[in-house]
Amino acid sequence: MIALSARNCRDFIKCALDAISSRMSKPVDAGSSRSEPGASRHGNFIDYYRFHPAEERMRQIPEAIYESAGPSPMFVALDIGCNTGDLTLELYKFLSKNLPERKISIIGIDLDPVLIERAQEKNDQFESVTFVCIDFFSNDRENVLSSYLSERHKKRFDASFCFSITMWIHLNKGDAGLELFLRDVCSCSEVVLVEPQPWRCYRSAARRLRRANLGDFPLLEGLEYRDEVQRHIEKILRDQCKFRRLHVSEKNEWQRRLILYKRCHDERTHEDSA
């Protein structure tokens, strides 16, 4: 369990200030925001799971997620951009059901302190599921995640989940940020499940932000990874991260696929036999 250290408190306060300033620096015009409820800079929608019920999304999760796990008695997962935690808690149930002999631990992270507070409030699995407010790009992320792993005697996460987050990273951090994100996720993971948003969602996210008077995404027009975003992500995962595709799901009702990638050379070692 992560202790609430001075560093975690600092992270939390920094997250809170960042989120408040990002919400306040360009106040939402009431009319625009009512007419554009989907406007957001980071995808930090407060009512996300009212529109995307977490239980329904579990139907797409590939069995290969747990089939490829090593023999360790513990399965440790990371959910990046966990929002209010509904999907993280469903993932916990799914993994517990399918790996009944393992102890499951999941850490969900999100940059928005309000969303994390909600996730913590609804967390009925607090011994196994942890929610931490942290921006994936913050300097402390590596420390937070490596402490979480080492407390569980793990070198890497058995699985990392990137559900509907790649577009927000890409829009805010550009092509180089997307590459860095994927490389960093892969470096601490055995398998990675990605649900990339297609290119048309980028345009619609920008349109909604503009209509809500929240500015724009300054990097959007200069992005070289465009149109077939899924293909670009796959190329980064293959060429830069040395991960290979294991499984592609059918499209869900909002036309997105889940794609599972696995580290090419299996370097599982000591901790798996611990």
Ligand X SMILES: C[S@@+](CC[C@H](N)C(=O)[O-])C[C@H]1O[C@@H](n2cnc3c(N)ncnc32)[C@H](O)[C@@H]1O
- Which positions lie near ligand X, rule CB under 6 A? 42-44, 48, 81-83, 87, 109-112, 115, 135-137, 163-165, 168-169
Return the number of the residue (60 or 103) whose C-beta is nearest ligand X.
Answer: 60
Smallest separation (angstroms) from ligand X to the CB of 267: 26
Nearest-angstrom CA–CA distance, 103 and 135: 27
Q: Shortest gap between Cβ of 45 and ligand X (angstroms)? A: 6
Q: Where are the alpha helices (DSSP H) in the chain?
A: 6-24, 30-35, 48-51, 54-57, 64-67, 86-98, 113-122, 141-151, 166-187, 199-211, 229-235, 270-273
Q: How far is the CB of 202 from ligand X (least distance, A)?
A: 13
3-state secondary structure 57-116: HHHHCCCHHHHCCCCCCEEEEEEECCCCCHHHHHHHHHHHHHCCCCEEEEEEEECCHHHH
Q: Smallest distance from the beta carbon of 198 to ligand X, in angstroms?
A: 14
Nearer to ligand X, 46 or 64 (CB): 46
Cα–Cα distance measured from residue 142 to residue 193, given in angstroms and rounded to the nearest whole number: 20
For ligand X, the closer CB: 83 or 160: 83
Residue closer to ligand X, measured from CB, 110 or 158: 110
Within 10 Å of residue 270's Cβ, how many Cβ atoms? 8
Q: What's the closest the beta carbon of residue 123 comes to ligand X, in angstroms?
A: 15
Identify which of residues 193 and 237 has a Cβ nearer to ligand X in the complex: 193
Q: Among all residues, whose Cβ is closest to ligand X? A: 81
Task: Copy the structure tokens of residue 59.
Answer: 């139907």
Mapped onto helix, strand or coil, the DSSP state of residue 42 is coil
